[in-house]
Amino acid sequence: MPSALITGATAGIGAAFARRLAADGFSLVLVARDDKRLAVSAEELRLRYGVRVEVLPADLTAEDGLAAVERRLREGVDLLVNNAGFGHRGTFLDVPVSDELRMLKLHCEAVLRLTMAALPGMRERDRGAVVNVASVAAFFTRGTYSASKAWVVNFSRSTAAELAGERVRVMALCPGFVRTEFHDRASMDVSGIPGVLWLSADKVVAEAMRDLARGAWVSVPDLRYKAIVAVGRLVPGKLTGQVSRRLGRR
C-alpha cells in the first residue's frame, strides 16, 4: 500500500488531498497543529475509506515540530504534500516582522527541509513524489505571501530539473481562489472576488494529481487561472501589482 504524508491536512486543500489519496488506497500520515481535529479527521477517513491513518500533531513554525516531521519522512513515504500555509490580513508594512518570519519559516524553510528529508528515501526506492502547494499569487506581486510562494515554485522547478530522468517527481501546485478556511483564518475580506474565480478544493486536487501523473513541474488548475497567469507574464510588473492589490483584499 503506498503512503502519503500531508501537512495542513485537516482543512481545505490538505483535507481534499487526504480524501483523494485515501480513495486511491494510500495509507496516510496527517500533520497539523490541532491534535483534536487531527483525531476527528483520521477517524472519518478510516471509517469511510478503510485505510490506515496516522496522526502527527506538529507546528511547522517551531523547531521541534519541524524536526518531528523530518524524522517521520526519513522512515519513508511515497508522496509528500507540503500544503501547510497561512496569509496575513495587512499589507507588508502593517504586519509585525515576527509574523513575516513565521510565514517564511512555514512556506520556505519547512518546504525545503521536508522535501530534503523525503527525497533521499524516494530516490533509493526509485519511486515517489513531492507536491509543494504554492499559489497563483506566486506569479504576481503581493507582499511576503506571493514572494514566499514564488520561492516555492522556483525551488520545485529547480529540484524537478535535478531529478529529470528519474522516477521521482517534484511539482509546485498553484491554485487561485479556493473555497477553504484560508481567508477566514487570515480575516481577509474577499467579498469583492467574483464568484467565477472560486474553485473547489476537490477540483484543485483532481487536476493536481493529473498533472503530477503526466510529469508536470508546475500545475495551475483551471483554464481560467492558466489564462490569468499567461496574461500576467505579459503585463508589466507595476500594473499587475496594482491589480492584485485591488483584487486581493479591501
Residue 49 is a catalytic residue? no
Exactly one of 26, 145, 177, 182 is catalytic; which is it? Answer: 145
What secondary structure does DSSP assign to the chain, as a single string? --EEEEESTTSHHHHHHHHHHHHTT-EEEEEES-HHHHHHHHHHHHHHH---EEEEE--TTSHHHHHHHHHHHHT--SEEEE------SS-GGGS-HHHHHHHHIIIIIIHHHHHHHHHHHHHHHT-EEEEEE--GGGGS--HHHHHHHHHHHHHHHHHHHHTTTSSEEEEEE---EESSSHHHHTT---TTS-GGGEE-HHHHHHHHHHHHHTT-SEE--SHHHHHHHHHHHHS-HHHHHHHHHHHH--
**Catalytic positions:** 145
